[in-house]
């Protein structure tokens, strides 16, 4: 009986510790799988990225640190598969990746936060290739920008 | 009460969908000011929007998304009576969904 109790106690402790230790690694795996920072590097992506002005990004020029910034992306590209928004200098750059169905217009609005002045990159994947547009946002500390 | 708010607006040809979700979106590297310990990660991983049971958007969210995420999409030729469903899944396995009918 004591053995069984001991066994149960151990299993509970073991599973609890496994859950605790696994969760950060799961988190890392998720980030690595879906939001790889190295995606920004052209050389690693095996497809060529084309800079285009067919993607329109609406962002403020100046914003505060770690405060939600509204972003609106519209595009006149056709056959869009997905739209990904990145902030270049954030620890994990990807804000969100939207897989759009053909029933949606090329219009996405979201919010993002930034730690320092950097470029916001929008990658649009179509059946023809990858397209990119950039916009810089200046981050200031405190409310009054000078 | 559901954590999701959905609003729709009929424009000339399209229908605009606006979604606001109440969620902490902690990415796991923020420190608690009083205890100096890391706040455990709690964020939305996947959000899907369906229109009449057909998936229109599936969105994978990252760590740069702030607290209480807001999203907007433009649906081509939305009709009155179309049923919009939004559901999300976070890293702790919580799920939530909300339905909305375009009027």
Q: What is the ipTM of this complex?
A: 0.86
pLDDT of residue A73: 93
Q: Do A92 and B69 touch (CB under 8 A)?
A: no
**Dihedral, CA of residue B65, residue B57, residue B47 and residue A96, to nearest 10:** -20
Most B CBs within 10 A among A111, A121, A137, hence the mutation to make, goes to A111
Q: Write down the domain spans for chain A.
A: 1-34, 37-140
pLDDT of residue A45: 54
Q: Is B73 touching A (CB cutoff 8 A)?
A: yes
Picking from A121, A112, A93, the residue whose alpha carbon sits closest to that of residue B66 is A112
pLDDT of residue A11: 53
Residue range A6-56, pLDDT digits in tens: 655 555 544 444 444 334 444 434 444 455 555 555 444 566 778 888 899
Q: Is B48 touching A (CB cutoff 8 A)?
A: no
A136 vs B77 pLDDT, higher one: A136
Neighbouring residues of B27: CB distance < 8 A, sequence distance ≥ 6: A92, B41, B43, B63
Between A and B, how many residue pairs show a Cβ–Cβ distance under 8 A?
110
- Report the C-alpha gap between B95 and B93 in whole angstroms: 6
On average, the pLDDT of chain B sits at: 88
- Evaluated on CA atoms B17, B27, B91, B42, the torsion sign reads negative
Q: Which helix (H) or strand (E) holds A101?
A: none
Do A19 and B45 contact (CB within 8 A), yes or no?
A: no
Four-way CATH pick for A37-140: 3.30.365.10, 1.20.1250.20, 2.60.40.2470, 2.40.50.140: 2.60.40.2470
pLDDT of residue A27: 43
User: What is the arithmetic mean of pLDDT over B63-89?
Assistant: 88
Residue range A61-119, pLDDT digits in tens: 988 888 889 999 999 888 888 888 888 888 777 888 888 888 888 899 999 888 889 88
User: What is the arithmetic mean of pLDDT over B31-42?
Assistant: 87
**Highest mean predicted confidence (pLDDT) among A1-10, A125-134, B14-23:** B14-23
pLDDT of residue A42: 46
Q: How far is A144 from chain B (nearest CA, A)?
A: 22
B12 vs B22 pLDDT, higher one: B22
Domains of chain B are: 4-101 (2.60.40.10)
Q: What are phi and psi of A12, to 5 degrees?
A: -60, -45
Q: Do A96 and B61 touch (CB under 8 A)?
A: yes
Measured between beta carbons, the chain A residues lying within 8 angstroms of B56 are 100-101, 103-104
């Amino acid at each position: 009986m004591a053995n069984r109790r001991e066994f149960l106690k151990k299993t509970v402790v073991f599973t609890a510790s496994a859950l605790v230790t696994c969760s950060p690694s799961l988190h890392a795996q998720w980030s690595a799988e879906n939001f790889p920072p190295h995606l920004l590097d052209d050389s690693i992506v095996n497809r060529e990225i084309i800079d285009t002005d067919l993607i329109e990004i609406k962002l403020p020029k100046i914003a505060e640190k770690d405060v939600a910034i509204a972003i609106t992306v519209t595009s006149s590209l056709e056959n869009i598969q997905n739209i990904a928004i990145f902030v270049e200098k954030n620890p994990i750059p990807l804000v969100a990746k939207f897989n759009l169905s053909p029933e949606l217009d090329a219009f996405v609005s979201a919010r993002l936060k930034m730690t320092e002045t950097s470029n916001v990159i929008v990658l649009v994947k179509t059946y023809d290739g990858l397209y990119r547009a950039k916009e810089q946002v200046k981050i200031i500390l405190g409310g009054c920008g000078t | 009460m559901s954590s999701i708010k959905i609003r729709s607006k009929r424009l000339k040809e399209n229908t605009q969908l606006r979604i606001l979700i109440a969620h902490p979106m902690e990415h796991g590297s923020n420190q608690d000011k009083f205890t100096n310990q890391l706040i455990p990660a709690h964020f939305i991983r996947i959000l899907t929007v369906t229109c009449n049971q057909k998936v229109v958007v599936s969105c994978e969210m990252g760590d740069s998304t702030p607290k209480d995420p807001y999203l907007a999409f433009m649906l081509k030729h939305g009709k009155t009576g179309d049923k919009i469903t939004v559901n999300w899944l976070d890293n702790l396995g919580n799920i939530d969904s909300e339905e909305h009918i375009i009027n």
